[in-house]
Amino acid sequence: MLNVYNTLTRQKEEFHPIEPGKVRMYVCGMTVYDLCHIGHARMLAAFDVIYRWLKASGYDVNYVRNITDIEDKIIKRALERGITPDQLVAETIADMHQDAAALNLLPPTHEPRATHHVGGMIALIEQLIANGKAYPAPNGDVYYAVREFEGYGKLSGRTLDKLRAGERVEIDPNKRDPLDFVLWKAAKPGEPSWESPWGAGRPGWHIECSVMSCHHLGEHFDIHGGGEDLQFPHHENEIAQSEGAHGHKYVNYWLHNGFINVDGEKMSKSLGNFFTIRDVLQHFDGEVVRFFIVRSHYRSPVNYTDSILNDAKQGLTRLYTALRGLELPASTGIDWSNPYAARFKAAMDDDFSSSEAVAVLFDLAGEVNKTRDVQLARLMKDLAGVLGLLQREPEEFLKAGAGEGELTAEQIEALIQARRDARASKNWAESDRIRDELIAKGVVLEDNAQGTSWRRA
């Protein structure tokens, strides 16, 4: 039985989908104004693993991950660059998809864009006004009246009184209560806008996810996910909007992934420790980055440093090396009664514990190294595939990634041939010199009965 940690109840619960055999899951995606950073990679990969495990468990999964393509940051960045918001959005979505491919993410079932659902947002706001949960303001904005929703704070554990007393809230004369949040923003000159019953304007950030999730998954669905920073106010506000409009429960299970810290500190441009996925991919293979993320439990905080990425590279190299040189039989599916597979399944059924599942892969790799058993190797590759790992040819991974100043595969092969010639003529000094040169260049040689193979360190 799959158990998941539900942020709403703050405990692990048995997972029971609303409709047997089917799972409806929504995850808050990107606001497309800039390149995705390593924190986004954590969220994307974490829910990709969850998606993969639900599918591997036999569920028919409808996975929706939205794109926010209208927001203050998008308008500001487009203005700074002298392009239109639409141009910026198109460019950034293409970059996001390229990064997703490098991390071997499965595409979601649906990837809705906020601007394609403005009509639904207007309709939901009208329903909230009719239900007494929202009100138009004199300035053309529309606000959600948080004190009219009895359950406000149940996800984050923050009561309204504590919020009011403990946080500095900007005084806005258009709001009835300083804690009320905007559903519709009146248009400003030169900004994108849509016509509405309250005048020209555009939707607030929170309303879009309530509309896109319900459009694709219904008013009540199974799983809602995102980074833990979205618990409040974004997901709290989603609950208030959706349940305030529809009068019943919105989501059964709330899942949130942990942060990535850099050298023990929160990633921040102001601290100079901010890394985009593109930055990291200049130095590390995309599968290494994925492995770095997957080998930790999705809810745990993860520390990012180059040394930790190098350690992840070495770990993934160990796994690929175990498969090297083996002719694997065609996959016939995973036999979950196998002891290794059973351990893997128990780990993933325990709140998607990919860290424990990766430990099973290392145990399998050790056994494969000892026995060279192709059936065990096949099982190892199939289990790793559930995590989106080890699906390339070992040689491709082990020889990939010539960075700036590093030897190409052709140069390495030429040096190996020169070493082979030196050994044939019993010029051991030259043979050792070439080997030392390759080691210094980050190339590891492995001599065996079949000859010499190599990999990058």
Residue-wise pLDDT for 256-279, tens only, equals: 999 999 888 887 777 778 899 999
Domain locations in the chain? 3-257, 262-398, 401-456
At residue 156, does pLDDT exceed 70? Answer: yes
At residue 167, does pLDDT exceed 70? Answer: no
Give pLDDT, residue 170: 62
Name the pLDDT band for 439 (thresholds 50, 70, 90). Answer: confident
pTM given for the model = 0.90
Helix (H) or strand (E) holding 211: helix 205-217
Q: Binding site: what residues are annotated?
A: 28, 209, 234, 238, 269
Going by CATH, does the domain composed of 3-257 fall within 3.30.750.210? no
Percent of the chain with pLDDT over 70: 97
The tally of CA atoms less than 13 A away on the side-chain side of residue 262 is 16
Give pLDDT, residue 266: 80
Amino acid at 89: V
The two most distant CA atoms of the chain are separated, in Å, by 92
Give pLDDT, residue 440: 84
**Considering only the top CATH level, what class is 262-398?**
mainly alpha
Give pLDDT, residue 181: 96
Q: Do domains 3-257 and 262-398 have the same CATH topology?
A: no
At residue 106, does pLDDT exceed 60? Answer: yes
Higher pLDDT, 243 or 432: 243
User: How far is it, in rounded angstroms, from Cα 3 to Cα 16?
Assistant: 9
DSSP per-residue string spanning 253-302: EEEEEPPEEETTEE--TTTT---BHHHHHTTS-HHHHHHHHHTS-TTS-E
Give pLDDT, residue 375: 97
What's the rounded mean pLDDT across residues 19-35? 97
Name the pLDDT band for 74 (thresholds 50, 70, 90). Answer: very high
Give pLDDT, residue 164: 67
Q: Token pair of 352, please?
A: 């998607």
User: Three-state DSSP class for 455?
Assistant: strand
Residue 278: how many other CB atoms lie within 10 Å: 14
Q: Binding site for Zn(2+): what residues are annotated?
A: 28, 209, 234, 238
Contacts of 440 by beta carbon, 8 Å cutoff, 6+ apart:
none
Q: Binding site for ATP: what residues are annotated?
A: 269
